[in-house]
Amino acid sequence: MSVPTLLLNDGNSVPWIGFGTGTALYSKDAAEAVSVAIQNGFIHLDGAQVYNNEETLGVGVVQSGKPRSELFVTTKLTKLKPGATPKSALQESLKKLGLDQADLYLIHTPNNHKGQLKEVWKGMEECKKDGLTKSIGVSNFAVEHLEEILEVATIPPSVNQIELHPYVWKALQPVFEIHKQHGIVTSSYAGLSPLFRGKGGPLDPVIESIRQRLQTTRGQPVTDSQVLNKWLKQNGILVITTTSKAERAREYVDTVNVPDLTAEEIALIEKTGSQLHQRYFPGNWPPE
């Protein structure tokens, strides 16, 4: 089954869903989880220098038997060591990953580069120009950080990966606006948090009602996770998610086969989500 893609503002494409190697896999051997994810339909692997498992992500890619040309690999720049540059940091990552080139390279968080964001962004552009990565972008950037790098950017970020689910949807509207202006794809992590970390919230009955409708329409099981992932997908959002279970990996990838939510259902999720403002990873986001 081919995985749908999103077009980036630099002309490249990215698979709409990616397997994240942070959270539960942070500083752990990710090889088995990555291999299982690939064998069950994921072709986009989302890593980071700070996850401290790039070597095992690379091992998982090899173990899966999938050709490199059929995979999309992301990594992210952490705080620079003295004398290091985004380019030297990416070269180190590629060596660990066992790759010649990344597909996407993101600045992981603006808080690691206070006062140096413009300089760091120029270093990111150098990585793209030198062919070390196909695309460049950012993560956890608020409006002010995007504005700061856009002042000097000759290549705008192609992606901004942020905590995104219905309970922050309303608060993120200014970020979405600047994304729209510059053709930046919004990428979501922690998109399923209302289900796993926020049980008992106002969304629960809404998700359940939509799930039942979709299941009846489809004539086979639909899960709560598929409802939320479908909502993200229909909003044009790049989804990063993770699991240790093969069946859950298949379920996430299978979201494309779930019937579409109606415009009314999408609006209801967003309206209900706006009743509660809740971040589950506040440390990654600049103070509000």
Q: Residues marked as binding for substrate?
A: 108
Q: At what angle do helices 31-39 and 54-64 cross, to 10 degrees?
A: 40
Q: Is 126 helix (H, G, I), strand (E, B) or coil?
A: helix
Q: How many CB atoms lie within 10 A of CB 165?
A: 26
Which residues sit opposite 96 in a β-bridge? none
Phi, psi torsion values for 266, nearest 5 degrees: -60, -45
Length, in residues, of the chain = 288
The catalytic residue positions are: 51
Nearest to 37 by CA among 230, 242, 192: 242
Q: How far apart are CA 190 and CA 195, in angstroms?
A: 10
Q: How far apart are CA 48 and CA 203, in angstroms?
A: 31
Identify whether the C-beta of residue 95 lies closer than 8 Å to the C-beta of residue 53: no
Which residues sit opposite 263 in a β-bridge? none
Element (H, E) at 102: strand 102-107
- The rounded Cα 49 to chain-centroid distance in angstroms is 15
User: Tokens 């999938």 map to which residue?
Assistant: 66
Query: CA 105, 109, 113, 117: dihedral to nearest 10 degrees?
Result: 60
Q: How many CB atoms lie within 10 A of CB 247?
A: 9
